[in-house]
Chain A
Amino acid sequence: MTSTTIDDAPFIEPSTRARRNYLNDEYGVLSWLLTKDHKRIAILYLFSVTIFFVVGGIFAFLMRLELLTPEGDMFTSDTYNKLFTLHGIVMIFFFLIPAIPAVMGNFILPIMLGAKDLAFPKLNLLSWYIYMIGGTLGVIVIITGGVDTGWTFYTPFSTQYSNTKVFLTTLGAFITGFSSILTGLNFLVTIHRMRAPGLTWYRLPLFVWSMYATSVVIMLATPVLAITLVLLMVERVLQVGIFDPALGGDPVLYQHMFWFYSHPAVYIMILPGMAVISECVAAFTRKKIFGYKFVAFSSLAIAFLGFLVWAHHMFVAGISVYAAMIFSFLTMLVAVPSAIKVFNWTATMYKASVSWQTPMLYVMGFIGLFTIGGVTGLFLGALGVDVHVHDSYFVVAHFHYIMVGGTIMAYMAGIHYWWPKITGRMYPEWWGRLSAMLVFVGFNLTFFPQFLVGYVGMPRRYHAYAPEFQVLNVLSTAGATVLAAGYLLPMIYLFWSLKFGRKAGTNPWGAVGLEWATTSPPPKENFHETPVVTWDAYDYPAFLKAMRETQHV
């Protein structure tokens, strides 16, 4: 093995064998439901998270329709409260947290490492089943009446006052957390133990660095959520006083525990987005990422600092002035590594070969929108301003710029970028560009007015609102319509491309990375022989030279 050189490491199979791939290797429902292939598990996740994305999106759209007029005239207050609660829970626990790691991470990460699979394939399948159990509980909650606590489950409302399905919902979120933990564990072990020969840490694609940081956060933070939700269930069901002051508890303690998970959870959602963006920037500029080590270590810095800022959600919740100051300062620090990433991605485009293909359009959208989401975080971190805008629509706009403008833009970029690898087919380029433009325009029209209406004074989670807020709300609802069209289009043309799309070659983008050194779709074992890496990450000339030599073309 050690004597293997680049010249005798065949990346590409002869065409006769290339027809066998992970999709047609086995047939039948059981071959999917009992698969241990990381690629098939990724497809299972892709279906599941897409369904939840549609469900969460429908909730959001119904809310926007209600908010078209100041009066609460479309739904009752209780129904509206359930809509925003379910929108948050479905989107966060069942879409954003698993989406990129469990779909793209599962599919691409082992291939990027030159591995045959993740370290624990059975745990990987188990994680999908656990996710589905949690998700099923979520669906049962939706069908049997919903829940109205807000996705934050603040006490004592959630433990004593809400008459909705709080127990089932928190149980669902609790169970789903274990699926994240298993995925994170699998990634960490795989990255440490299963890299191909020659693939040193500094040769790793930035996707891997960012997934590593994500996995660390998942492993350390998710157990805290589990503990918090168990305490909540214990108080609600057994009336043990933990958070409810009537039973001798402290409601603010709940907020500390909840945000100790849920702030790092924001990074569980955005770090994988950054992972995808780094890959796409390199691929569609055909260039080494500017400041590779800065981008790599900024992911780890975000993972570390992300644990130290939880109380910036609580500046007006009753913490001391001095505690607020410390958390405000740390919040400013955590913004630095994100800024470093934005500057490095932008600088990568300098003297590059910039393609205007769909994934790159999403990347440009991501950088622009993530920047706005990031700088508005500074407004919220600045104590004096936060007192006014906290719990207003300004906050709603801010986190949608990060979560939708950031993570979902990255998710869309990644789906388009790796679609040919996953399916072996190209999506239709012009439809892709159209949907990217619709998403960008629709997104800004939906969420930018929310910054303004928040500063004017509209509180979040309001079923009815004062009439002077209406113009901005109408704009927002109009934008949501465009955004919905932008998300529906890819669901149609990607499905269409499965049968009618142009066949993709091994490396349709001319990109660098081990996933572009194996066939599309990859064989079941990813590589017929373990590849040997002789190039640095994103080193185009070295990679192309290695490919030419192995392909004999």
Chain B
Amino acid sequence: MNDFPLFPEQASSVSPLVDGLYLGLVAITGVVSLLIWIVIFYFAIKYRRRPDNELAQEQEPPAILEMTWTIVPLVIFIGIFIAGAWLFFRINALPANAIEIYATGRQWMWKFQHPTGQREINTLHVPVNRPVKITMASEDVIHSLWFPAFRVKADVLPNRFRTMWFEATKPGKYHIFCAEYCGTLHSGMIGSVIVMDAVAYQRWLAGGSEGSLASQGEKLFEKYACNTCHTSTSGARGPNLAGLYGKTRQLADGSSVVADENYIRESILNPQAKIAAGFAPVMPTFQGQVSEDDLIRLLAYVRTMGVEQPVATPVESPQSAIESTGAPAAPADGRAEAQPTSTTTPGNQE
């Protein structure tokens, strides 16, 4: 990067497309704007007020002119809409084989959790040339996770999971910014995404964790005593959760719902909202008792229940007790705000 860049690094599969559309728009609108400026100046000079034209010569405008500059811009604008919408669908079309990473935003830091159990603050390690899906929620206010080098951004909400994805195409270290104003240290809610080649990524993953996210979730499943009701035996007080994720579920009121991240989230925090058919509304709420991090772990566990192989777990990781915070929280670059220290890591709140 030189000192005066006009583009961020092109480091994801969609970056060249976004830049292409952007430059196309710059070209079209630049030409039109320039033409308008030239015409204004030309008219202003050629028809400047002189003694012989104190009053303008009136003429009726030809109707064809009005039609032209109504319809031609309309067609161009609709073309821009189509190009933008096509790209938007691409940016939102989640590939099937993505690595699942969970993110939590809170004033003022980003926490990332890997399926293999590593946890990071303000740093995210991802492999190159593999789609990465991020499932995220906020612990407090609205944040927005922005990877300028990947040209993707999504608001992180406090009341539900949202997902975004990218496929990094170039190893390197790039900015992570919070883009939605979130209070005092909004401009300090930054970090780095480190894109590694496959070998380096495997080595990094081997760096240790407290067991996979799902196995951490399994422990919580016992800790919160979920397993006393959600057993696989018939006549259990809670529904059997094995194989639940992604399935369509019949509800007591006759409607049905797809059991996705937000359904599971809601069923933990607000169990009375949707009652599974055939069960009594007896589950207590866990609102305020289960942290966002634990929700993510429970979700990871529920997703693996009844599945032979955990989905999208890239590698068996050694069961080391070291919590990985990745590379030192990086790009501070002379910034005044203090980075959150490891004493505030989520591991301490249990």
Contact = CB atoms under 8 A, between A and B. Distances in A.
Nearest to A328: B81
A368 interface: yes
Contacts, number: 290
Nearest to B288: A246
Contacts of A541: 55, 58
The interface centre, meaning the residue of A252, A324, A336 with most chain B CB atoms within 10 A of its CB, is A336
Nearest to A466: B333
Contacts of B182: 157
B77 A335 contact: yes
A342 B66 CA distance: 12
Interface string A371-391: 110011011011111111011
B77 to A, nearest CB: 4
Interface string B179-211: 111111111101000000000000000000000
B316 interface: no
A252 B204 CA distance: 38
B271 to A, nearest CB: 14
B83 A382 contact: yes
Nearest to A149: B181
A388 B47 contact: no
Given A375-B33, A462-B187, A468-B1, A288 B142 contact: no
Given A161-B141, A376-B29, A154 B181 contact: yes
A391 B144 contact: yes
A410 B196 CA distance: 53
Contacts of A252: 157
A353 B151 contact: no
Contacts of A287: 56, 58
B219 interface: no
Interface in A307-364: 315-318, 321, 324-325, 328-329, 331-333, 335-336, 339-340, 342-344, 346-347, 349-356, 360, 364
A350 B47 contact: yes
A356 B44 contact: yes
Contacts of A462: 186-187
A285 B142 CA distance: 51
Contacts of B190: 466
B334 A70 contact: yes
A390 B179 contact: yes
A3 to B, nearest CB: 30
A148 B184 CA distance: 8
B53 A353 contact: yes
A353 B55 contact: yes
The dominant DSSP class at the A interface is helix
B188 A455 contact: no
A384 B81 contact: no
Contacts of B25: 375, 378-379, 382, 385
A288 B178 contact: no
B329 interface: no
Contact of B84 (A317, A321, A386, A471): A386
Contacts of B48: 354-356
Nearest to A157: B141
Nearest to B2: A468
A324 B91 CA distance: 13
B181 A324 contact: no
B66 A459 contact: no
A187 to B, nearest CB: 28
A80 to B, nearest CB: 8
B45 to A, nearest CB: 8
Interface stretch (B35-43, B110-118, B317-325): B35-43
A332 B142 contact: no
A50 interface: no
Contact of A466 (B144, B160, B179, B331): B331
B47 A349 contact: yes
A367 B48 CA distance: 18
B8 A251 contact: no
Contact of B47 (A162, A325, A352, A379): A352
A368 to B, nearest CB: 5
B336 interface: yes
Contacts of B14: 384
Contact of A250 (B6, B77, B159, B186): B159
B183 A464 contact: no
Contacts of A466: 175, 190, 331, 333
Contacts of B22: 379, 385, 388, 455
A72 interface: yes
B37 A71 contact: no
Given A156-B141, A372-B33, A387-B153, A332 B78 contact: yes
A72 B157 contact: no
Contacts of B179: 390-392, 459-460
12 contacts: A321-B88, A329-B78, A329-B81, A364-B41, A371-B33, A382-B87, A383-B84, A383-B88, A384-B88, A391-B146, A461-B187, A541-B55
Interface of B: 1, 3-8, 14, 17-18, 21-22, 25, 29, 32-33, 36-37, 39-41, 43-44, 47-50, 53-59, 61, 65-66, 69-70, 73-74, 77-78, 80-81, 83-92, 107, 140-142, 144, 146, 148-149, 151-155, 157-160, 162, 175, 177-188, 190, 331, 333-337
Interface of A: 70-73, 77-78, 81, 148, 150, 154, 156-157, 160-162, 245-246, 250-252, 285-288, 290-291, 294, 315-318, 321, 324-325, 328-329, 331-333, 335-336, 339-340, 342-344, 346-347, 349-356, 360, 364, 367-368, 371-372, 375-376, 378-379, 381-388, 390-392, 452, 455-457, 459-468, 470-472, 510, 540-541
Given A321-B89, A384-B87, 19 more contacts: A77-B187, A148-B184, A154-B142, A154-B180, A156-B142, A316-B154, A340-B70, A351-B47, A353-B54, A356-B48, A371-B32, A375-B33, A379-B22, A382-B84, A383-B88, A385-B18, A385-B25, A391-B144, A540-B58
